[in-house]
Chains A and B, each alone.
Chain A
Amino acid sequence: MSKTELYNVHLERIKKAIALEKTDRVPVIPVGNSFCANHLGVSLADFAMNNELAADTMLKSFSSLGDIDGMQQPVFSPYLLSYQWLSKVRIPGIDLPKDVPWQVAEAEMMTVDDYDVIINKGYNTFFKDFLKNRLDNLEEKVNPVFAYTPQAIENCKKEGLVTLSPIVCCIPYEVFCGGRTMVKFMRDLFRLSDKVQAAMDIAMDDIVESTRQVLRAMKPTGAWVGGWRGASEFLSPKVWNRFEWPYFKRMVEVVLEENVIPVLHIDSNWERDLEKFLELPKGKCIFSSDHATNIYKVKEVLGDHMCIMGDVPAALTSLGTPDEVYNYSTKLINEIGPKGFILSSGCDIPFNAKPENVKAMIAAVTDK
């Protein structure tokens, strides 16, 4: 089979899983970055600063560990975390020893006054200025990553692998919460609720427009719609229904309107609100949880409505044995799948996951 034919087999299998149709086997699509560097002995400092090296390392690492259908993301830079959460990130080789993983340093980078700036001048103006003046010209660091992404996707395709979600879409809750810090932002939701909502509405329009432009230019298979700090476990229904869900839902709908698959990257526990996801169209999205939301509950509520992806835990891939990982993965395939299920890690595979454990996860779909 040629690589092009192999790519088509993989893509077809993934699309069938999303449409909740029967597949010949469950697809497996890992996600991770620092793990790949550790696996192949690439220094994290080099991986963090060299997009081409990062992309090649991720492709070589995952494709050497078994018969995967694709990768969730084809390239990585820790500066993307900075861009996503308006936070500084400590970088190996610069702020940290060269083989210590990057870490987001939470600090109040965005002030209460910035809500007014967004309301009066628009989010794009605020965002551009923020990247330049408060995040040390961040655009200069992330633009090369964006520019290299199409090439990284093409490199995966040449190996017959689908890049599931090379774009990350964030709603205002995530961006503001990162910039303000979680504690201060939660206070703002009570003390300045109307102002926060006004700023969110303006930001959302600008973010939606930018997202559409990126999706139209890149035409990716899918895109992450991320839910991290806006998880149900952190917010009362009143707060969640006002500041999180309407924006999250709209972003999913925008991605769908652009004929791109929304990969709902769901971290922390969202169990309380699973039924809300029934408002999204059937057989069109992937619910990808990190193990904090009970995947059996996800199956119970959404199993007939949405493809589920996950959720081999980070702790298991780093502390467990290959047998434990294989058994956990097999249980997921049988009990969450086999229909409407994609096997993956719960969020990223961590830096110190054992390669033999990742191999065991991948082997579970092929029984090899």
Chain B
Amino acid sequence: MEKINLVDALSELDEDLVVKGVKSQLAENVPAIEILGQLQKGMEKVGKFYEEGEYYLSELIMSADIFSSVADLLKANMAQGAELETHGTIVLGTVKDDIHDIGKNIVATILGCNGYKVVDVGVDVPIEKFVEAVKEHKPQVVGMCCLLTTAFDAMKDTVAAVKAENSAVKILIGGGPCDNNVAKYCSADYYCKTAYDAVTLMEGQCKA
């Protein structure tokens, strides 16, 4: 039987074929970590389609969902202690007084499937919790979201506190009312207009 190309199957969002391919490789004793690597390459291809305007958020979410469902299948087969290498770490949360999490969850999902470790600190996150997470996880990037303009000041204070803890960490912001002016107001390093901008920025930061 011809080996199923997991990179193509995932990037074409063919869920049945991905599941079949993963099961078949596991049956042939291909190490789970190697299969996960193929799936991550598939996610990279999805990202490329997105950047080229062929795919949109709907396809990013669907691909992430396929990835997550087979990743669960693979985790059960991973050698004890084996972990897939990640490209970098981001601490991500919605700032204090704002409970909106749609954008944050989408960014977390897409970054996770693209090989980044996401430390999701939740919504309505106090400044100290961001700072603690930065101390503990030593991320390259901190991502802050909000949907309310009333959260701009909390975002600004959180950026200042995180920078005081670690001046090297880069801070990106995003969410409905944000733009480059808001990033400037908050002294953040970057503004992400779309969820996938976070992946592009992480790539830049983690290569640096």
Q: Pick out which of these stretches binds chain A: B52-60, B126-134, B137-145.
A: B52-60
B160 at the interface (CB under 8 A from A): no
Asked if B55 and A352 make an inter-chain contact with CB atoms under 8 angstroms apart, the answer reads: no
Interface residue tally for chain B (C-beta within 8 Å): 33
On whether the beta carbons of B99 and A183 are closer than 8 Å, the reply is no
Contact between chains at A352 and B61 (CB < 8 Å): no
The answer to whether B58 touches A239, judged by C-beta atoms less than 8 angstroms apart, is yes
Q: Look across to chain B and name the residue whose beta carbon is closest to the beta carbon of A272.
A: B53
Partner of A103, one of B57, B62, B100, B149: B100
Q: Does B101 contact A (CB under 8 A)?
A: yes
Give Cα A319–Cα B105 distance, bound, in whole angstroms: 27
Residue of B56, B150, B176 near A351 (CB, 8 A) is B150
B177 pairs with A350, CB closer than 8 A: yes
Contact check, A183 vs B61: say whether CB atoms are below 8 A apart: yes
Q: CB of B178 within 8 A of chain A? A: yes
B150 surroundings in chain A (CB, below 8 A):
100-101, 350-352
Least Cβ–Cβ distance between B149 and chain A, in angstroms: 4
Complex interface bits, A295-309 against B, C-beta within 8 A gives 1, otherwise 0: 000000000000000
The distance from the CB of A288 to the nearest CB of chain B, in whole angstroms, is 16
> Complex Cα distance A320/B179, Å?
13
Contact status B149-A190, CB under 8 Å:
no
The contact of A315 among B13, B15, B181, by CB within 8 Å, is B181
Q: Distance (Å) between the CB of A193 and the closest chain B CB?
A: 11
Q: Which residues of A contact B176 (CB under 8 A)?
A: 314
Interchain nearest-CB distance for A315 vs B (Å)? 5
Task: Give bound CA distance, A352 to B185, whole Å.
Answer: 15
- Across the interface, do B57 and A350 meet the contact criterion of CB distance under 8 Å? no
Contact between chains at B106 and A182 (CB < 8 Å): yes
A319 touching B58, Cβ below 8 Å: no
Inter-chain contact A315/B149, CB cutoff 8 Å: yes
Q: Which of B135-186 contact A (CB under 8 A)?
A: 147-150, 152, 176-179, 181-182, 185
Chain B nearest Cβ from A195, distance in angstroms: 16
A318 partner residues in chain B, CB cutoff 8 A: 149, 152, 177
Q: Specify which chain B residues have a CB less than 8 angstroms from the CB of A190 in the assembled complex.
A: 13, 58, 62
Name the interface size band of chain A. Answer: 20 to 34
- Inter-chain contacts of A90 with B (CB < 8 A): 99
Which A residues from 162 to 196 make CB contacts under 8 A with B? Answer: 181-183, 186-187, 189-191
Q: Report whether A236 and B182 are in contact in the complex, using a CB–CB cutoff of 8 Å.
A: no
Q: Which of B61, B101, B105 has the most CB of A within 10 A?
A: B61
With contact pairs A103-B148, A316-B181, A319-B152 given, residues A234 and B58 touching in the complex (Cβ less than 8 Å): yes
Q: Which of B60-110 contact A (CB under 8 A)?
A: 61-62, 65, 97-102, 105-106, 109
Select which of A105, A181, A187, A233 is within 8 A of B65 by beta carbon.
A187
Please state if B100 and A104 are interface contacts (CB–CB under 8 Å): yes
**Which B residue's beta carbon lies closest to that of A100?**
B97
B194 CB within 8 Å of chain A = yes
Report A103-119 residues with CB < 8 Å from chain B CB: 103-106
Q: A34 CB to closest chain B CB, in angstroms?
A: 9
A285 at the interface (CB under 8 A from B): no
Give the complex CA separation of A244 and B109 in angstroms: 24
26 contacts between A and B (CB under 8 A): A90-B99, A103-B98, A103-B100, A106-B101, A106-B102, A182-B102, A183-B65, A183-B109, A186-B61, A186-B62, A187-B61, A187-B62, A191-B15, A233-B57, A233-B194, A235-B56, A235-B57, A236-B56, A313-B177, A314-B176, A314-B177, A315-B177, A315-B178, A319-B182, A350-B177, A352-B150
Q: Which residues of B are in contact with A by a Cβ distance under 8 Å?
A: 13, 15, 54-59, 61-62, 65, 97-102, 105-106, 109, 147-150, 152, 176-179, 181-182, 185, 194
List 4 tightest A-B contacts by C-beta distance, closest first: A350-B149, A318-B149, A234-B57, A314-B177
Given contact pairs A187-B65, A313-B179, A315-B177, a sample of 17 additional A-B residue pairs in the complex whose CB atoms are under 8 Å apart: A90-B99, A101-B150, A103-B98, A105-B99, A182-B106, A189-B58, A190-B58, A234-B56, A234-B58, A239-B56, A239-B58, A315-B152, A315-B178, A315-B181, A318-B149, A319-B182, A319-B185
